Amino acid sequence: MKENYNVQRVSYNATKPFIFDIHYAKRMPSISYAFGLYLDEDLVGVVTYGSPPSQSLCVGIAGKKFRGDVLELNRLVLKNNLPNEASLLVSKSLKLLPSPKIVVSYADSSQNHTGYIYQATNFLYTGLSDKRTEWRMYDSNKHSKTICETYSLQERKAQPNKFYVTDRPRKHRYLYFLGNKKQKKLYKENLKYTILNYPKGKFN
């Protein structure tokens, strides 16, 4: 029952068991805000928001003027993933964020996700991310950005048994505008992406 659930701010450390033990990426993202879904007294889910790793993305959504308003919903993890838990956590957490903000989130097509949760919570759909390649490491889940910041291009190319280039999985991109009617209208007027119909699929 909804009345048994509560969403509130949680600490960075509280998110770790969910992100490391349950989420497929097994990697901590940049976290500015973290919220937990409680069923009675039990923490059963977390959602985190942080600065997107790409500043070009922040500019690309609605231009330089609004790049500082962009937040990424970068982890959504449920312990049991019971019906309606994900949409409840997302919708309640959005109301707890400061505004105005532009929230961006992605559904990973390589995990058979189409973003049903974002559709259920009225995000705008703006298509798939661009086709790109990225650097990865064998036996490591380090993000491509971290690898490129840590190792030079020369180091990466000199160690083909350690580093490799692969196609980056394309992701469904969703946006949500936080603010009053005037602020939301301003964001929409400056939006660089075309708003599209939701993709269909049985996966989240």
List, in sequence order, the alpha helices (H) in 108-191. 116-120, 144-150, 153-158, 181-190
Give the DSSP letter string of 18-67: HHHHTSTT------SEEEEEEETTEEEEEEEEE--S-HHHHHHHH-GGGG
C-alpha–C-alpha distance, residues 131 and 141, integer Å: 20
pLDDT at 171: 84
Task: Name residue 139's amino acid.
Answer: D
Q: What is the CATH number of domain 2-128+170-190?
A: 3.40.630.30
The domain limits of the chain are 2-128+170-190, 133-167
pLDDT at 165: 77
Weakly modelled stretches of the chain, pLDDT under 70: 1-2, 109-113, 130-134, 143-145, 167-168, 201-204
pLDDT at 24: 75
Task: Name residue 193's amino acid.
Answer: Y
pLDDT at 112: 58
